[in-house]
Structure 1
Amino acid sequence: MSVRVDVNSGWTPEPTLPKPTGRPRLPAHDPFYDPPSGFATLPEGTLLRSREVELAFLGVIRQQITAWQLLYRTSDLNGVAEAGITTVLLPSGVEPGDDRPLLAYQCAIDAVADSAFPSYALRRGAWAPGAVPQLELLVIASALDRGWVVSIADHEGQNGYFGAAREPGYRVLDGIRAALGFGPLGLRDDTPVGVWGYSGGGMASSWVVEMAPDYAPELDIVGAALGAPVGDPGQTFIRLNGTFHAGLPALVVAGLRHIYPGLDKVIEQHVDNDGLRKLDLIEKLGTVAAIVRFARDDFDDYTDIPLADLLATPEVLEVFEDIRLGERTPTCPLFVVQPIHDQIIHIEDVDGQVNRYVDGGAHVTYRRDRCSEHLSLMVLAAPTVLDWLSDRFAGRALPDAGTKTVLSMALNPSAIRGFVALARAAGKVVLGRKLGRNSEPTTIRERVRARNARRLSA
């Protein structure tokens, strides 16, 4: 993938549109998502269109958060131009600029249906039962409460290709570029950027930092927190098939068959009509609905050859190899957290991803948690993750790299204070109160000044 070139294209983005009224349309029926003619000739990250939007917790409780949606030029898996969208957030009443950092937060979309996309699910009036991004707003609130600007890209793209390689990174990185150039946020080209995501969001965040060195080297990504980042989606498929969470690997297959022709050919040849109907149906379901509807479902029941033989075909092995994480080395420091007894993502797969990063020379602080399971660690690790990101924004010394197995991340010495702040921010979301009381712009300003001084001395 070529590096974005800053050229004078003569392109002027459309004026920011006012807040839409009434119930939001699904992305597939919303003309805002349609790119203007000729957009493919523009550089990656070019802002095409913007609008103000109103956010609500669970679509109902109005949030005092200033929000815009940005449509921008990005690329798909094969480098073909497409339009991406990110929702950018600023705490209500907080002035833009003031050297605020930018957090690129990747939601665990984990669905193909566009009702689960953050750009729809976070909006007031959205009907998105079972969409994980609606609940993740409770965690995102803590970043806003610290005064950070937050960018939440639809990293699966407008077709919802859950599990795809590389392109989640392109979409997020180009969303960051668009946000940095969006005047109302008051950001600069050298704004420090942090990356964070958990589970499916951790997988997308892994692609962000793996693709960044070549695709967006100009961005100042100061650190990335990867929570339960999957590691090896192919192995996860094999382990989850036939279990309570069998809907998750089915969602991945439903999305990937559209972008890997070889996989689609194998499915058409060896999966029966009931299996094909299952894949068509699951594309319309949110994450929770897909898990409940297809619990204990076994893909082996839908194939005319043993599943083990189907998974050993060259076309399927090629996909599994392509979507495996850790084959490219990030250049920013990483903080990885993973439950040892995770019922969805096996610890060995994340160990492997971390080891591949370390072998490539990355600085990785890895915490393996004994007492948590998949869902609980997202919350229990959040205070430590937020403090780690805050330290990266402030330019403080990195903690020692290496792997440690801990009893619980909730026992971190600063965790008690962090849980109080986390609960306070989540409470503001539930009550529709203002966020941003614990703003940190002074710390960030000091970091930027120190960085600029280092550059001048060099």
Structure 2
Amino acid sequence: MHRRAVGLLAVVVAAALTVAAAPAAAATTAPVAGEQLTSPSDPFYRYDGSRPLSEYRPGDVLKQRTLDYHVLGVPTPVKAVQLLYRSTDARGRPSANVTTVVRSHLGDGSKAVSYQSFYDSLDPEDGPSRAIAGGLSLGGVIPHAEALVMGPLLLKGYDLVIPDTEGQSAEFAAGPAYGTNTLDSIRASTRAEGTGLHAGTRFGLFGYSGGAIATNWAAALAPQYAPEVNRQLVGFAEGGLLVAPAHNLRYVDGSLAWNGVIPMALIGLARSYGIDIQPYLSDQGLKVLGELEHGSITDALGHYPGMTWKDLVKPEYKDPNSISAFVEAVNEVNLGQAATPTVPGFIGQGNAGWLEGTFASPQGIGAGDAVMVAGDVRALARQYCATGNRAITYEQYDLLSHNGAMPYWAPRAMAWLDARFAGRTAPTSCGLIPAGNSLEPERPVVVAN
């Protein structure tokens, strides 16, 4: 069966996924034959129980099903267990989210990687669970491509847990929600029957770009939010990290491609924190945000070359800090204001943003990888060293951009995680990391009359 599966997945660039994966347990909530699993009406994604969601513990399993793992819409012999579980949204409210567990036939349930996808979307239909269940959309192509990263992890004997990190409201850019969704996904995977995972399973956190946001926030929140999960973690490996979003928005302002994340972040933060952003927008801003309301990163990149913050807002709001609700939100998602992780970390960061059309910002935010600010990432790594976690490895790739750094970072991050699972002492870059930017909170300014 594995040879036939390899042949199938080679056509869709994911052979390693199948060759390493084992059939999963039978579903407790099986989909109806022929049911379009990824449609908005898919009942699996809705919590419809009579018991209030708030009465469940974070990580409790609400529904469970087993289905074929799909790549580019093509079903494979690989089985995946999907779980609807209780979590917490950006405003601290009970929420329901979905994660996917894929078993490695080379593993024994003792070690697993929580893989955080970089699917970056304002549409929950683009989440990895939908792609795995057979969905195929432009915004959902990224989780399919990530099979090339996840396959090698399965071949190393790691079971995989793949959360929809943005939740079922697509809380784009709301890092704390990414973190709670990730931690509760791990909880759910060890509580569900048939996953082979348990309280003794050791976990590594792994993610790039949007996945790095979830990875770092999970590591930072774990000691307080999920201490039992924190005890299971061997470390976190991440690359292309968003630290202080206000800095990133200034960095990409007016760039050729990555400036499209400005309206995406406005929509995501407004949605996540209940902000009415419309009164601040110009006519162009209303048009652009309307176009991207349910868009993904594929709809934003390169679609608005040269567009700036000032183009999106009314003249009196040309300084982003003149919108007090926005200032509050970007401070909520500033990793520099979060707790220091207590487990080892591997952080990789590109620094050749000019390769993707982003240059040093005239507003004082220096070089990065075209979207992520390298000085912010260095500052965060130095902060972790200074606040008690000296098991931090930081690597800066001065000749690689955001997209270019990922294929170089991934095997290095995997090797670093392998060493942590093997019990080897984590190396440190503390004392060797160059200075970075200030990660102080943003300060609101008063709009002149």
Residue in structure 2 matching 1:336, options 332, 347, 353: 347
Moved more, 281-290 or 125-134: 125-134
Residue in structure 1 matching 2:88, options 63, 75, 82: 75
Paired residues for 1:3-402 under 5 Å: 16-19=28-31, 21-22=33-34, 24-26=36-38, 28-35=40-47, 36-38=49-51, 39-60=53-74, 62-91=75-104, 94=105, 98-129=108-139, 131-219=141-229, 220-243=232-255, 244-261=257-274, 264-265=275-276, 267-327=277-337, 328-341=339-352, 342-362=369-389, 363-402=391-430
Deviation at 1:71, TM superposition (A): 0.5
Moved more, 165-174 or 280-289: 280-289
Are 1:224 and 1:335, in contact at CA under 8 Å, matched by a contact in 2? yes
Higher relative contact order (CA 8 A, sep 6+): 1
Moved more, 130-139 or 41-50: 130-139
SS of residue matched to 1:399: coil
Deviation at 1:20, TM superposition (A): 5.0
Deviation at 1:30, TM superposition (A): 1.4
**2:241 maps to amino acid:** P
- Alpha-carbon distance change, 359 to 21 in structure 1, aligned in 2, over 3 angstroms: farther
Q: Aligned partners of 2:245, 2:178: CA distance in 1, in Å?
A: 14
Are 1:112 and 1:286, in contact at CA under 8 Å, matched by a contact in 2? yes
SS of residue matched to 1:292: coil
Are 1:155 and 1:172, in contact at CA under 8 Å, matched by a contact in 2? yes
Deviations 1:181-224 (A, max 9, x none): 22212122021110011011101111100110001111211100
SS of residue matched to 2:335: coil
Deviation at 1:99, TM superposition (A): 4.0
Are 2:86 and 2:184, in contact at CA under 8 Å, matched by a contact in 1? yes
Are 1:131 and 1:287, in contact at CA under 8 Å, matched by a contact in 2? no
Deviations 1:105-136 (A, max 9, x none): 11112110123211112333533456322211
Aligned-residue RMSD, C-alpha = 2.3
- Alpha-carbon distance change, 139 to 345 in structure 1, aligned in 2, over 3 angstroms: same
Q: Aligned partners of 1:113, 1:30: CA distance in 2, in Å?
A: 15
Are 1:118 and 1:153, in contact at CA under 8 Å, matched by a contact in 2? yes
Q: Aligned partners of 1:22, 1:395: CA distance in 2, in Å?
A: 46
**1:89 maps to amino acid:** V
Q: Aligned partners of 2:250, 2:322: CA distance in 1, in Å?
A: 12
**1:29 maps to amino acid:** S
Deviation at 1:23, TM superposition (A): 6.5
Identity %: 30
SS of residue matched to 1:387: helix
Are 1:23 and 1:126, in contact at CA under 8 Å, matched by a contact in 2? no
Deviation at 1:229, TM superposition (A): 1.2
**1:40 maps to amino acid:** S
TM-score normalised by L of structure 1: 0.79
Deviation at 1:15, TM superposition (A): 6.4
Q: Aligned partners of 1:309, 1:387: CA distance in 2, in Å?
A: 44
**2:346 maps to amino acid:** F
Q: Which sections of structure 2, spanning at least 5 residues, go unmatched? A: 1-25, 353-368, 435-449
Q: Aligned partners of 2:209, 2:165: CA distance in 1, in Å?
A: 13
Deviation at 1:248, TM superposition (A): 1.5
Q: Aligned partners of 1:296, 1:59: CA distance in 2, in Å?
A: 35
Are 2:351 and 2:397, in contact at CA under 8 Å, matched by a contact in 1? yes
Deviation at 1:273, TM superposition (A): 4.0
SS of residue matched to 1:140: helix
